[in-house]
Structure 1
Amino acid sequence: MSNNVSLIKMMIMVAFVILFGGVILITQLESFHLFKMHQHSLAMANKASQESSPPPAEIQDIEQDQFLLVYDPDTELSVSLKNNVEKTLLYMKKMFASVPVKKIPNDIKEYKNIIILFPNLDLVKDFTILTDYVSHGGKMFFAIRPDIVETYESIHEMIGINESDPPYKDTFSVKIESDFLINSRGLQITDENLIWNSVLDISLKENSTVLASTDNMIPFLWSTPYGKGTFMVFNGTMLESEMNRGFIAGSLSYLNNNFIYPILNSKVVYIDDFPAPFPDGTHDLIFRDYKTNTMSFFHKVWWPDMLKMAQEYDVKYTAGIIETYNDDVDGPFNERLAEHNLKIFGRDLLKMGGELAAHGYNHQSLTLDQGQVVSLGYTAWKDEKDMVASLQELNQFVQGIFQGYTLKTYIPPSNVLSEDGKKAIKKAIPSISNIASLHLPDDEGISYIQEFEYSEEYNEIPRLTSDYHYAQEVQWIVANGATLYGVFSHFIHPDDILDEERSGNKTWHEMSSSFRKMLKDVKEKYPWMKSQTASESTESLRSFQDAKVFFLQDEKIIQGYIGHFRGELDFILRSDKKIVDSLGCEVEKIDSNHYLVHAVSPEFTIELGDES
């Protein structure tokens, strides 16, 4: 009996073990299968976000809005203005056609806007074609103030102006009366070296809306309804400059209902010549205020202040290293004067999420042309071989302290760089794929000027502004850069305080207070901007440049499709309406009538409600 019981118990235990083992095996197999599926999904998602996939044919066939640009090919200012407006529209990924004034097509109703890029309106054979276009619902933007000619006298009331024969006047200021530049209502510029325009000294009809004004409250930018459409008039002559592209973008945004366009969305702050050798001895202003030598000031005052500002205002620094300030261009390159500073400051920089960038072995610009750097007091290189050797030394210098660190960004000394220099960079440090120079041309025409773009060779990531001083020029460029590109890109030098001209003979307390105000203003006006290093900003650049954007929209719905989608893309939407719902994107209000749209899917929808 007991043997039978034992046998039964044993059989039950065996069956339990088999059943339990089977369950475990099934569970493990299922878990493994799910794990593999998850890994496959992640791999596919990652692949989808990085590979360029063309939009479906039916999306590509959608008829997109087109802008008609009308210019005078015989006038240099008109051609320059045309080129600048074209570039602005390219950044906004809008379609356009540019035609000489004598070749305006008879049928223009298909165009979303017509943009007039010349002042002499008498060049148009029959202006009623254009006024009829507006009367029937079209929108026209005069991107330069009109001349007082016969055609002007016949249409001045249509475009909102009271006077038929107003005087011309030179003006040197602008006040923004609305948020057509994002979060810039009330911004006033009075710098005569920055803002100059020839304007018409006029007053406007009551049905006009003033968006900006100038000296003595002269209307500078306004819109006026006409029939079923709208005229917008810029009463000035400055929009051919790259500095004012945000003004163009903001004007077009205001002119059109529910206007949406992509942006880079990036905030980058550079410190050039850092880490670098600091001068020995004392500086009068520093010693007076801090009772310490120059080296100690940078270690104990300047750098702690810079770190504190970065933390308070959400900034990452990208720092351009040099080893020495000598002018040696033929070697040997072995003067490692910045070794101690690179160890101390470099460690702090990387700890706070910053980036070390190459500025050069020394501060000699990479060019073989002495004429390009003679005004800087620099020495041109004799050949490419020495440029390569100096950069290889810089890379070895960095590797000796931060083993395995990869340099990805090059900052040209004094923003001067030749094509020979670009080749030398690739040979010396192949990991460098980013160049950070200038976006706006310098007065002497010697700087390396960039657009935001990339090629197989380099990511071009220009800086827009510089200096510790929050001057009106900086404020203006920041407002324009934020509105068109969604970018704040700024650089400073540690030793600005040591130079009487660059410091404006101000103390570090005054300079740091101004810089703090700048960073605070940017954070408060554009809290949505992504704080990035130079290398991180190139990911935003690639997502932006790769994207092919298509829209279907009416008064209630905006449907967007992004071809070549890399995982996310940001847009600016200007609309007077409330956002009811969204799918495939996140929408955030960023001023009175602008929204940031963060697309997380290649297809997204925004539902609009009533006016807010």
Structure 2
Amino acid sequence: MKDYRISRREALLLGGSALIQSLLPLPVIDEIKENHVPRMRLAAGPGESLQRVLLLYDSADPLSQMLYPQISMALDYAKIAHDDADIGPDARVADPSSYSAVAVAAESIWRLSDEEALKIKEYVAGGGNLAVLVRAWNPVLREVFGIQDRQEPEGILIESGLRFVADFFPGLQGLALEKQYVGMFSAMAATTVDGVQVLATSGDGQYPLLWRHKFGRGRVLYWNMDLLADREFRGFAVQSVLDVHTSAVMAIANVGLFHVDDFPAPASTRKLEPVAGEYDMSVVDFYYKVWFPDMMRLARKYGLHYLWIIPFNYNGLVEPPWDFDQWVHAKIELNGQEVPFCVYMSHQVAQGEHELALHGYDHQSLRLDWWMRDGIGEEEARRNMVSALKEAHQRWQEDSMGPLPFSYVPPNNLYDAAGLEALHEAFPSVKVVGGMYMGDFEHGGSREFGPEPWNDDLFSIPRWTHGYFDEPFTRLVALSELNMFGVWTHFVHPDDIFNTKSNYPTEDEPRNPYEAPWRGDPSDPNDGMFDQLDHLLDWNQEHYPWLRWMTTQEAYTEFVNYFDTDAAFSLGDDGITISLSKHPTYLLVRLNDGRKLDLMHVTNAQIINIHAGETYTQYVLKCMGQEVRLGLLASGV
């Protein structure tokens, strides 16, 4: 066997990228198997078969150890039933005949004997479906994969990026990711057989990296790369499984969240570029007169429900006495009077369908090591965290800021178990922690949606994308989250515009790397940061108009109900049956063979959106009961 099969971490050492550097600590395979809750089983109706995937992985293969957890978790989010089979110990394949599809999450499929590989070949030839989620080789399966080469193709490293050239799912066609986003990744210099449909190529167009293929009566999708080992590609794995079925169903939560970190917050009365040159305003006046009105315009245009996340100070205090000097320092003129900017804006932003959240007494992360300085011991640091938060609690009420916060977003996206304990003691109203999907788990990062692992009283809703700029990587991650289970979580800071290399020379990755203006040149619709954000939201609305923007408190209820509900899908030539254990949810139905939903025979569901792709039709439905029945019309009817 050739030794080109480098891992994603080895690729990092060779090339490196922002994407690969964000690789997250993955749960070990035993933990994945322990935490995986099998989807509910039901008997298929007459003429129907259950949608259930056989997921092949190899516990002894380093790449599969990274790839398999991502695929398994992604399918669980989408409530796609799957049985997971380890081919590592004896290189044997379970009988695939009872499954609607087989998904391969192990490049070591080359270890299969001819007899074992023939199980897969005969399964696909007879009408089975196969999603190969990593570049893999087996001589018996090369024709199944759509590979013409008789010998194993040469292993290569792709340095020119990744380009999606065809319609795989909404919003993806045309997306090009340069090396700075995906780094250097491995593939095979494979020649495809005639008739395959190439969906993605290397950035230079030289190598096919994703294609569809028909073998016998079966459908095949092949990923000639190893990028699906990254969390940023989870939604692509889900859609790959849907793509190989003639008809397929996934559940979606249908939740959109938009967070604004650090607003209202203490603001400078100085003039800073690039705003000074564009508006001749101080920072605080820009926020009040330009930035906030523009953000509210976007809210009205797209139906956003902001979560405004408040830190009371940036004073860095970790021991009493506590003060709120910065909170009341900046003033604005209102009705001939000077009033504290932060207090006034905290009243304004919570009006209507928006909500306030806590960022902390100050911008210190709720981690013991952040509070244990200047000789402060652990117990004193714990007491000081609680004390500071209780001061914030009191100030919240003194300034008439409305209901106590339901959500907490950790400064710097960092926290520890002691910090959450202090938070719960001082703010028992808080139920949601809005951390990040990426980062170090031990520092509060790498969070999944669901109960916070360090505190049973809290629920984690991680954010996946951030910033104002409509960039390819932002679209990639948003698409993955949307296509994993119908969710997009995004956040910005008001001071992103000031975070430039000119203002912060030591900043490695400034949030405004282009030193872009806010509005900029009116003749250029993408010149300013406002324009970029408007364009990003418009792109989302074009391709995912069904997404429900809501408050984070509303989202908490939606997520709790979603994860408390199991689902089973039964597929037939004439119809689809969906069974839900508890709460009605939303569904995404994908038809890939020319059939359509019979809109006159939809029971217990409302059709929210229909998207006609180049080779598929996608439906988003709202369930109105625990059993949904969908009629299907034959192709051409």
Instruction: Sort the TM-score into its range (normalised by shorter chain).
Output: 0.7 to 0.9
2:580 to 562, 571, 590: 562
The one-letter code sitting in structure 1 at the alignment partner of 2:596 is K
Equivalences for 1:151-550 in 2 at 5 Å? 151-152=138-139, 154-165=140-151, 166-171=153-158, 172-194=160-182, 196-217=184-205, 218-339=207-328, 340-370=340-370, 382-402=380-400, 404-441=402-439, 446-454=443-451, 456-500=456-500, 501-504=510-513, 505-509=515-519, 510-550=528-568
Is the Cα contact below 8 Å between 1:181 and 1:480 reproduced in 2?
no
Is the Cα contact below 8 Å between 1:451 and 1:461 reproduced in 2?
yes
The one-letter code sitting in structure 2 at the alignment partner of 1:169 is I
Cα offset, 1:606, TM superposition:
1.1
Name the CA distance, whole Å, in 2 between partners of 1:401 and 1:487. 34
Cα offset, 1:221, TM superposition:
1.5
Instruction: Using the TM superposition, name which of 251-260 and 388-397 deviates more.
Output: 388-397
1:3 is matched with: none
Is the Cα contact below 8 Å between 2:309 and 2:357 reproduced in 1?
yes
Cα offset, 1:59, TM superposition:
4.8
Seen in structure 2, the aligned counterparts of structure 1 residues 393 and 94 have a Cα distance that, compared at 3 Å, is same
Instruction: Using the TM superposition, name which of 339-348 and 595-604 deviates more.
Output: 339-348
Cα offset, 1:273, TM superposition:
0.8
Name the CA distance, whole Å, in 1 between partners of 2:86 and 2:372. 37
Name the CA distance, whole Å, in 2 between partners of 1:427 and 1:421. 10
1:129 is matched with: 119
Cα offset, 1:370, TM superposition:
4.8
1:603 is matched with: 627
1:590 is matched with: 611
1:93 is matched with: 79
1:74 is matched with: 60
Seen in structure 2, the aligned counterparts of structure 1 residues 295 and 216 have a Cα distance that, compared at 3 Å, is closer
TM-score (norm 1): 0.84
Cα offset, 1:380, TM superposition:
9.5
Name the CA distance, whole Å, in 2 between partners of 1:71 and 1:223. 21
1:380-429 deviation line (CA, Å, top 9, x unaligned): 99522111111122222221222651210000001001011111111111
Is the Cα contact below 8 Å between 2:51 and 2:571 reproduced in 1?
no
Larger % of helix: which? 1
Cα offset, 1:69, TM superposition:
2.1
Look up the SS of the partner of 1:540 in the other structure.
helix
Name the CA distance, whole Å, in 2 between partners of 1:511 and 1:404. 31
Name the CA distance, whole Å, in 2 between partners of 1:487 and 1:96. 21
Is the Cα contact below 8 Å between 2:518 and 2:529 reproduced in 1?
yes
1:6 is matched with: none
1:264-293 deviation line (CA, Å, top 9, x unaligned): 111111111111000122113222211122
Seen in structure 2, the aligned counterparts of structure 1 residues 162 and 381 have a Cα distance that, compared at 3 Å, is farther
Look up the SS of the partner of 1:351 in the other structure.
coil
Is the Cα contact below 8 Å between 2:50 and 2:571 reproduced in 1?
no
Is the Cα contact below 8 Å between 1:179 and 1:591 reproduced in 2?
no
Give the greater-gyration-radius structure (CA).
1
Seen in structure 2, the aligned counterparts of structure 1 residues 361 and 381 have a Cα distance that, compared at 3 Å, is farther
1:44-70 deviation line (CA, Å, top 9, x unaligned): xxxxxxxxxxxxx99589884332222
Equivalences for 1:46-85 in 2 at 5 Å? 59=42, 64-85=50-71
Is the Cα contact below 8 Å between 1:326 and 1:362 reproduced in 2?
yes
Is the Cα contact below 8 Å between 1:569 and 1:599 reproduced in 2?
yes
Look up the SS of the partner of 1:478 in the other structure.
helix
Seen in structure 2, the aligned counterparts of structure 1 residues 71 and 211 have a Cα distance that, compared at 3 Å, is same
TM-score (norm 2): 0.81
Name the CA distance, whole Å, in 2 between partners of 1:586 and 1:203. 45
Cα offset, 1:94, TM superposition:
2.3
Is the Cα contact below 8 Å between 2:129 and 2:220 reproduced in 1?
yes
2:590 to 551, 574, 587: 574
Name the CA distance, whole Å, in 2 between partners of 1:427 and 1:609. 57
Calculate percent identity across the aligned residue pairs.
Answer: 23
Name the CA distance, whole Å, in 2 between partners of 1:310 and 1:65. 39
Seen in structure 2, the aligned counterparts of structure 1 residues 60 and 112 have a Cα distance that, compared at 3 Å, is closer
Look up the SS of the partner of 1:211 in the other structure.
strand
Is the Cα contact below 8 Å between 1:573 and 1:596 reproduced in 2?
yes
2:136 is matched with: 146
Seen in structure 2, the aligned counterparts of structure 1 residues 328 and 381 have a Cα distance that, compared at 3 Å, is farther
Is the Cα contact below 8 Å between 2:51 and 2:570 reproduced in 1?
no
Name the CA distance, whole Å, in 2 between partners of 1:192 and 1:305. 31
Look up the SS of the partner of 1:508 in the other structure.
coil
Is the Cα contact below 8 Å between 1:181 and 1:479 reproduced in 2?
no
The one-letter code sitting in structure 2 at the alignment partner of 1:522 is N
Gaps of 5+ in 2: 1-39, 329-339, 501-509, 520-527
Instruction: Using the TM superposition, name which of 360-369 and 307-316 deviates more.
Output: 307-316
Look up the SS of the partner of 1:474 in the other structure.
helix
Seen in structure 2, the aligned counterparts of structure 1 residues 59 and 169 have a Cα distance that, compared at 3 Å, is closer
Look up the SS of the partner of 2:545 in the other structure.
coil
Name the CA distance, whole Å, in 2 between partners of 1:140 and 1:469. 37
Look up the SS of the partner of 2:622 in the other structure.
strand
Instruction: Using the TM superposition, name which of 184-193 and 277-286 deviates more.
Output: 184-193
Name the CA distance, whole Å, in 1 between partners of 2:446 and 2:272. 34
Is the Cα contact below 8 Å between 1:367 and 1:380 reproduced in 2?
no
Is the Cα contact below 8 Å between 2:307 and 2:355 reproduced in 1?
yes
Gaps of 5+ in 1: 1-56, 374-378
Seen in structure 2, the aligned counterparts of structure 1 residues 273 and 179 have a Cα distance that, compared at 3 Å, is same
Look up the SS of the partner of 1:347 in the other structure.
helix
The one-letter code sitting in structure 2 at the alignment partner of 1:246 is G
Instruction: Using the TM superposition, name which of 179-188 and 255-264 deviates more.
Output: 179-188
Look up the SS of the partner of 1:169 in the other structure.
strand
Q: How many residues in Structure 1 have an aligned counterpart in Structure 2?
A: 545
The one-letter code sitting in structure 1 at the alignment partner of 2:194 is E
Is the Cα contact below 8 Å between 2:260 and 2:309 reproduced in 1?
yes
Cα offset, 1:202, TM superposition:
2.7
User: What do you get for the CA RMSD once the two structures are aligned?
Assistant: 2.6
